Structure 1
Amino acid sequence: MPTPPITELTDRARDIFRLVVEGYLESGQPVGSKTLAGGSGLNLSPASIRSVLAELEQRGLLAAPHTSAGRMPTDSGLRLFVDAMMQVAEPTDHERAAIRQRIEEPGPIEQALEETSALLSDLTGAAGMVMVPRREHRLAQISLASIDANRVLAVLVGEDGHVENRILPLPAASFGTSLEQASNYLTRRAAGRTLAEAAALIDKEIAGGRSALDDASRDLVRRGLAIWSEDGAKRPVLIVRGQANLLDETALGDIDRVRSLIDDLESKQSVAALLEQARDAQATRIFIGSENRLFSLSGSSVIAAPYRDREGRIVGVLGVIGPTRLNYARVVPMVDFTARQLGKRI
């Protein structure tokens, strides 16, 4: 069921809906009409409140886990609250100072990434996640050699001495001496550049007719670079800290959900694939419960933001994962601030 726009709700329905969501996020428990009538300032009878609760449930914004229980927000209800009603609470001066101190501690960047993941976990009470930046070596040389009639060996040598061998499924026999020509051309264009930068330059030259390569070498370079650009180096590394935070007192009543979540976190490639969706976002992304297939069974939410290097390029993603009753108003700006601080450190 699509989430109804906030304008479709009356002022009374908005007030009651907001109180139910805020009460649920604070306690993790459904909120009943008696609770709302007692100390919410609504000045409505429990019967009037129950009538509005039933309307909100019919709209798919609230649900009753048990017949006699109160209401709790659905994933659609949480989405409406986050997008249209939530008032964010910026990190305090103390929290900002703690984030800066942990991230700016001297040491290798890997240590800063570990600290960031642990920091997010400590501050939010959820599990912290940081996707490590992809490392692209700057190249010194590229050599091509024939292995057999259908395969070519590419040897990539980095400026730091790193050597990587890749086998390309290309019919080398049809190129004759063009492999040497292609190797020389690749080295001249790739020296001092990353593979992605070299690929963009070479493809531009070929498309513009400025390449001195013959047709066979041109095909080899184009097809080879296309394969290389999709190499396994794109597989990111994920640092997860604070899984123990997911085992709070409310989790004990739903241990199957928590077990499902921890199993999902063990599949780091799947989690990283989800975080990739936040890589090109202009702001912090929020994935609530069933909105993402990976965590639909565990009923968990992910708050993620990209972080950039000093040149403004997005190099990774960080965030937190926890139950759908996360304190979104507090966690969202904290994740955003942490991403900006890590970017300065990178």
Structure 2
Amino acid sequence: MTGPLLSDLSERARDIFRLVVEGYLDTGTPVGSKALAGERGVNLSPASIRSVLAELEQQGLLAAPHTSAGRMPTESGLRLFVDAMMQVALPTREERAAIEQRLGEPGPIERALEETSSLLSDLSGAAGMVMVPRREPRLTQVSLTALDANRVLAVLVGEDGHVENRILAIPAEALGVSLEQASNYLTARASGKTLAEASRAIEDEIAGGRSALDEASRDLVSRGLATWTQDTTARPVLIVRGQANLLDEAALNDIERVRSLLDDLENKQSVASLLEHARDADAMRIFIGSENRLFSLSGSSVIAAPYRDREGKVVGVLGVIGPTRLNYARVVPMVDFTARSLGKRIG
């Protein structure tokens, strides 16, 4: 998206533009010339202000909804404001302490990720999103339990406390005593390894005829490993919290947009693909409205930041999504600080 540069605006136009954007982001409603005339530092008559507003509208930075005489920023205007004019409000000491406390509580990493998504939602008043780290935990135990004649429940326990349950469809002859044998075999070979590392080692052992497993157990392990590793690489898992925040009073006036946004959020694979751009960029990303095709219909904004482990490696992405009138100045540094705090928790 291209538009005027800040240097293209006169000082007077910059002041008026900034007040319109800040007023709109604060209230969610268009800002009129009478309201601007009462602002401190604006020594212009309503007529002069209307002239400046018309100029900014011609430049594509402001728009006048047909239901109001006031102006609101366009997507191009919001982009100019965020990139060139916004003064961020850093989290207070109390806010930073609250974030670190909530994310620092002991427990499985899944709990910290869910807490992060809820925290982002609470802080922004929008929906919070966290993409689960790609990095696989190192395993401590694998257990297999028969569910019925044709299905087995596999429970994978990681060193970080992560527990995953997966259901495998297997032939009936693989059930019975071979399950205990296969569980012991998997735990012995997988302990201290990631699933991918364990898979390679076990497959090599089975292929080389060095496995003590019987034929049914070998089939169970081989098919199970293929399913697990494919599942690990095929998904990214996305945790979304706070969708109800999107149904505020202002949203009721544009219910179709909100319905479109909620539909987009249901398609977690597409949202995760969007967040991948923040991972690839290795820095904070802000998508405003139709800048991203996924949210072009709902006219929503996404603020996303990668989070790193203690070695500095990007392991996931978190962020918020909401209407374009998000309080960018407050939410952007809050997302950044939350990403750094979660990184400390990941270890």
Q: TM-score, normalised by structure 1?
A: 0.73
1:19 aligns with 2:16: no
Seen in structure 2, the aligned counterparts of structure 1 residues 111 and 137 have a Cα distance that, compared at 3 Å, is closer
Residue aligning to 2:85: 85
- Stretches of 4+ moved more than 3 A in 1? 135-139, 191-196
Seen in structure 2, the aligned counterparts of structure 1 residues 94 and 138 have a Cα distance that, compared at 3 Å, is closer
- Tell me the secondary structure at the aligned position of residue 342 of structure 1: helix
Q: Report how many residues are paired.
A: 278
Residue aligning to 1:100: 100
The answer on whether the counterparts of 2:136 and 2:194 sit within 8 Å (CA) in structure 1 is no
Alignment deviations for residues 189-233 of structure 1 (CA, whole Å, 9 cap, x no partner) = xx967859x99xxxxxxxxxxxxxxxxxxxxxxxxxxxx9x9553
Unaligned runs of 5+ in 2: 140-156, 167-191, 201-226
How far did 1:270 drift? 0.7
Residue aligning to 2:120: 120
1:89-238 equivalences under 5 Å are 89-136=89-136, 233-234=232-233, 235-238=235-238
Unaligned runs of 5+ in 1: 140-157, 165-190, 200-227
1:72 aligns with 2:66: no
The answer on whether the counterparts of 2:135 and 2:315 sit within 8 Å (CA) in structure 1 is no
Residue aligning to 1:174: none
Residue aligning to 2:251: 251
Alignment deviations for residues 101-157 of structure 1 (CA, whole Å, 9 cap, x no partner) = 110011000000000100111111111000001243669xxxxxxxxxxxxxxxxxx
Supply the distance in 2 between the matched residues of 1:312 and 1:236 (Cα, whole angstroms).
20
How far did 1:71 drift? 0.5
Seen in structure 2, the aligned counterparts of structure 1 residues 245 and 193 have a Cα distance that, compared at 3 Å, is closer
Residue aligning to 2:34: 34
Supply the distance in 2 between the matched residues of 1:95 and 1:137 (Cα, whole angstroms).
31
1:307 aligns with 2:313: no
The answer on whether the counterparts of 1:159 and 1:192 sit within 8 Å (CA) in structure 2 is no
- Tell me the secondary structure at the aligned position of residue 279 of structure 1: helix
Supply the distance in 2 between the matched residues of 1:193 and 1:36 (Cα, whole angstroms).
60
How far did 1:39 drift? 2.6
Residue aligning to 1:173: none
Q: TM-score, normalised by structure 2?
A: 0.73
Supply the distance in 2 between the matched residues of 1:38 and 1:245 (Cα, whole angstroms).
32
Residue aligning to 2:43: 43
Seen in structure 2, the aligned counterparts of structure 1 residues 68 and 317 have a Cα distance that, compared at 3 Å, is closer
Supply the distance in 2 between the matched residues of 1:345 and 1:267 (Cα, whole angstroms).
28
Supply the distance in 1 between the matched residues of 2:26 and 2:251 (Cα, whole angstroms).
15
Supply the distance in 2 between the matched residues of 1:81 and 1:137 (Cα, whole angstroms).
42
- Tell me the secondary structure at the aligned position of residue 38 of structure 2: helix
How far did 1:283 drift? 2.8
Residue identity opposite 2:265 in structure 1 = L
Residue aligning to 1:6: 6
Residue identity opposite 1:16 in structure 2 = I
The answer on whether the counterparts of 1:305 and 1:339 sit within 8 Å (CA) in structure 2 is yes
